[in-house]
Amino acid sequence: MGGINNRTILIAGIIMSLALIFIAKLFILQVYDTSYKFSAVSNTRREVTQYPSRGLVYDRNGKLLVSNQAVYDVMVVPRDIVPFDSIDFCQSLNISIEQLRERFVQMRKDIRSRKISTYKPSVFFKQLSAEQYGNFQEKLYKFKGFFVQGRTLRKYEYPTAAHVLGYVGEINEQQLKDDAYYTPGDYLGISGIEQTYEHELRGKKGVKYMLVDVHGREKGAFKEGRHDTAAIAGKNITLSLDIELQQYGEQLMQNKVGSIVAIEPASGEILSLISAPNYDPSLLIGRDRSKNFPVLLTDSLKPLLNRAVQSSYPPGSTFKTINALIGLQEGVLKPYTTHECFMGYFARGLSVGCHPHDSPLNLTQSIQHSCNAYYCYEFRNILDNPKYGSIQESFNAWKDYAVKFGFGYKLGADFHNESRGFIPNADWFDRVYRKSWNSLTVISLSIGQGEILTTPLQMANMAAMLANRGQYFTPHIIKNIEDKSLDDTFRKIHDTGIDVQHFAPIVNGMELAVWGGAGSTARIAQIPGISICGKTGTAQNPHGDDHSIFIAFAPKDDPQIAIAVYVENGGFGATWGAPIASLMVEKYLNDTIHPGRKWIEKRMLEGDLINAKQKIQ
Amino acid sequence: MPNRKYNRSIDWLTVGLYSLLVLFGWLNIYAANFNPENPIFFDTSHEYFKQLVWIGFSLLFVGMIVITDSKFYVEFSYIFYGITILLLVIVLLFGKEINGAKSWFEIGPIRFQPAELSKMATNLAIARALSRYGFTFSKTSNLLKAAFIVLLPMLLILLQNDTGSALVYSVFIIVFYREGLTGYVLTFGFIAAVVAVLTLIVPNATIIGIIVLAILLILYFKGARAALLKAVIIGGLVLAPSYALYRFVPLNIKAEYVLIPAIAGLSIHLLYTTLSKRFNKFVPTYLLILWSAILLTVSADYFFEDVLSDYQRTRINVLLGIEQDPLGAGYNVNQSKIAIGSGGLYGKGYLQGTQTKFNFVPEQSTDFIYCTVGEEWGFIGSTSVVLLFVFLLLRLLYLAEKQHSTFSRVYGYGVAAIFFFHFAINIGMTIGLAPVIGIPLPFFSYGGSSLWGFTLLLFIFLKLDMNRAELIR
């Protein structure tokens, strides 16, 4: 071997030339080009995040619901702190010396656990008021390492619609990981439309680089602001909510537990969405939030729960309309079909009670009087239809209808926490009854009791579907987003697949339930001059008194509003549900309550189901 | 003792360089973990303590290597290779996924990456194969065998989704080149790389035009002038109608395809004249190069768009300056450049760095450890590290050339080549000259597997070198 050959020289040459290239590049980076140095010299250049203002929220009539208010955070760069006059510091911020000490202990803890950096600004004291800011800003030059950064908080113009609007809060660690846009300390929408439309409302953060001297005083823009980016304000949004109707509904529901959902049938727009008890959204702004949130969270009446979309109840007798439509479509029920009823339905050791009314009844009358027996016959005719080979098959056919009406699954409204309700299928009953069940076993479904559960939103959607005679739009609370078109899913018509002629007897029955003679279930809902159609429901409830339910739409031939009302433990549908629903409809359509109905309004406003119950206990 | 005179002492110069690199590396891992607000000088839960343990084990391994007979490595090279291949298969099936690569074994508190070991084993196997009596790259079967030994672990590591470690194996081409593989392979590889990079920056039609002109110029100076004139005229005649077609008929085809018929006409004419008149025999070779380059140009786009994954594409685009993305794919490199650049000529001083702490630079004690060097030790320190590596590499080449046995020489070249690749890519990546491929800087980066892998690799060669007089094969 011995001598070094050409190839070895070439390989050695490659190694050496690469080393030369590296050294040249290192020379450029470290010695020649100074632009890389500015980024590291953080004590002469400060990065100030420019927070955009969050988008405004309006109601359907252009009334401002949510706006922003300015607050100021005291920021700190721990490394830059030098000893300072802590009494002066506390006085200008109007805090006690103990609070300050506590803050410093917390800061050291955060530094040790690497939550915050000593080189980068982090929040030291949150949300100064304008006066505090003024006092502090004057003396800022004395406190090296501190500076003030402005940001905005939400401001609610009405103490209403808390569940719809949701709230804004500080980001948590999981959310930080999920979305790189956010940095610790950022605020984002946590529930309601603040959450659903977070991306539209939040805008885009900007950044401003300031030159600061050794005392931390700002000396103007860094490099004439060439590296700055402006914050882009969030988009304004308009809700379909009618804030006056919403306020009125919340008044009607005061001292009650339950929910009201009103929808414009022609568009699926939600006019009001009330969950009672409710709270003032301003309670959850800024620093007050940490104080008020636990109180609301631990309240036994669960005011934070949005019952309109999260709670599921049995639909009760309102569901008779659905069973009637299924029967008509399946051909097992005709408008002229009559059944007899003598205080109930009796079969093989099973009985379903009913209240006194004329007998026999046809379909329209059965709705008008809400006859239980009629629907027991009718429901059994659906399930025992010889067209289907087994109960499983016929039951699943029934279930498929129910799903097409919007039950059993999330409707896809713009609330992240929507519940899906519950519609059992044949498999489910096979498991529960070990495959031994028949139409009688599940007879309570005929009158909207038993296993099925629906949310108030689904019920309002059902009312809208009845108003539209078989079609509905996905309910939604958004009406308009600035510079952006609405989601197509909100413009798509959902068809239930029920022929339109089948609706006449049902709707007539609903009209008669309000306007019919003695024995009609909802005569209290009569609004002079408005052809309102409605159906009561009384949902049995294992935990206490029955829930009072009412669904309605009006006017009959050109429906403007469809509504569902749930009053928990309110008893009969006609006791609370029907009056409240009719008042809402009257308010929306006429804007005033007829003098002859003022007594109903008074009774509803004064009605107290919460405190009365507590007295009994 | 017999054979005493044949045994040389270990090459202390290399051992010295190794010790310097490991020590300096550890100091920097300590610095990258150092928290100035909470200056605990020693904490057993930190990376620097663990690295100290790994270094201790490395010394143990070095001792074991030195007392083992070097014939052992020669005889057992294929067995080592077989075992690591088996490990690579097992890790693919049962391994633990860390950072998207399924390349780790986890046994209790110990994690271990077989890919680090397989470099050593593959190197041994290559040395064994190439040192076989009568081995020559001109025999296809030999070439295929050598290629197989390299490609098998490479493929398995690619399947683990550890692209960086897999790419290391491509560096064996340098070893092959030293051992007689035709220089065309190296040249062609270089041209291919240049053309592939160009296709991403310059329109394809331009590149093809440049290639054609270059080839025509070469042919002109090589003396094929008579045939060339006619060929160019033919090419022009074909080009005119195809260009007119492209220009005036709305066909949805790419501009480069317009050139191809013309180049085809030109090539056919040249081929015909040179073959029929039996002179200018070099012409077909150049035509082959021309058409390979065209094929590469057209296919590079396809490869880039359809074969590479999104993040790889972005990384390459950022590197080439096509995309600006300082907070996304370019973030690491940008932060790394800021850290190194902020070091200046003399650096900020040991433990005085600000950028390589608090996670401004990601992976600051593993893949980006060089940033700490750049920031705290400045131009002086970072250049010293480059020079240390260059000395080590040249020393390895020098020692390799001194070997009497082919096995030892090939193995030595392999060691140098692997170190070279890691050195080139890792430092290149931190200063923005190479794409971000996560491979460690030998002896510097934190991690037991890589430190042990590199130590074994190096000291087996030093052991072979100690017995250089004994091994004659």
Instruction: Provide the shortest C-alpha distance from residue B109 to chain A (in Å).
Output: 23
A238 close to A58: Cβ distance less than 8 angstroms: yes
What pTM does this model have? 0.56
Residues of B in contact with A23 (CB under 8 A): 383, 386
Residue A266 lies in a domain: yes
A364 and A225, same domain (yes or no)? no
pLDDT at position A52: 86
A166 and A260, same domain (yes or no)? no
Report CB contact under 8 Å: B386, A19: yes
Q: How many CB pairs under 8 A join A and B?
A: 99
Q: pLDDT tens digit string along A131-156?
A: 788 888 888 888 888 888 777 788 89
Task: Say yes or no: A111 contacts chain B, CB-CB below 8 A.
Answer: yes
- Beta partners for B296? none
A234 and A248, same domain (yes or no)? no
A467 and A549, same domain (yes or no)? yes
Q: pLDDT tens digit string along A261-312?
A: 999 999 999 999 999 899 999 888 877 788 888 898 888 888 999 999 999 9
Report CB contact under 8 Å: B401, A18: no
Q: Is the ipTM of this complex over 0.85?
A: no
Q: pLDDT tens digit string along B200-254?
A: 667 777 778 878 887 888 777 777 677 778 888 888 888 888 888 877 776 667 7
Instruction: Provide the shortest C-alpha distance from residue A209 to chain B (in Å).
Output: 17
pLDDT band at A617 (very low <50, low <70, confident <90, very high): very low
Residue A283 lies in a domain: no
Which of B173, B335, B397, B408 is the mutation pick for testing A, counting most A CBs within 10 A? B397
The CATH number that applies at residue A522 is 3.40.710.10
Mean pLDDT of chain A: 86
Residues of A in contact with B379 (CB under 8 A): 26-27, 30-31
Residue A117 lies in a domain: yes
A388 and A483, same domain (yes or no)? yes
Domain boundary among A187, A216, A239: A239
A482 and A374, same domain (yes or no)? yes
Task: Say yes or no: B422 contacts chain A, CB-CB below 8 A.
Answer: no
A221 and A326, same domain (yes or no)? no
A381 and A367, same domain (yes or no)? yes
Per-domain residue ranges for chain B?
4-161+317-466, 188-308
Residue A69 lies in a domain: yes
pLDDT at B421 over 50: yes
Residues of A in contact with B395 (CB under 8 A): none
Cα separation of the two ends of chain A = 105
Lowest-confidence region among A77-86, B5-14, B127-136, B251-260: B251-260
Nearest residue, CB atoms, A37 vs list B183, B342, B358: B342
Interface of A with B in 5-34 (CB under 8 A): 7-8, 11-12, 15-16, 18-19, 21-23, 25-27, 29-31, 33
pLDDT band at B385 (very low <50, low <70, confident <90, very high): very high
The Cα A198–Cα A517 span in angstroms is 51
Lowest-confidence region among A81-85, A219-223, B127-131, B135-139: A219-223
The CATH number that applies at residue A112 is 3.90.1310.10
A179 and A257, same domain (yes or no)? no
pLDDT at position B15: 94
**Selection from A173-177, A210-214, B133-137 with the highest mean pLDDT:** B133-137
Residue A299 lies in a domain: no
Residue A30 lies in a domain: no
A360 and A497, same domain (yes or no)? yes
**Selection from A20-29, A101-110, B225-234 with the highest mean pLDDT:** A20-29
Domain that includes residue A180, residue range: 50-239
CA nearest to A7 within chain B: B178
Number of domains in chain A: 2
Transcribe A350-411 into DSSP letters.
Answer: EEEE-----SSB-HHHHHHHT-HHHHHHHHHHHHT-TTSSSHHHHHHHHHHHHHHTT-SS--
The count of other CB atoms within 10 Å of the CB of residue B390 is: 20
pLDDT at position B472: 59
Host H or E run for residue A123: strand A122-128
Residue A7 lies in a domain: no
pLDDT at A552 over 90: yes
A60 and A94, same domain (yes or no)? yes
pLDDT band at A43 (very low <50, low <70, confident <90, very high): very low
A216 and A355, same domain (yes or no)? no
Residue A2 lies in a domain: no
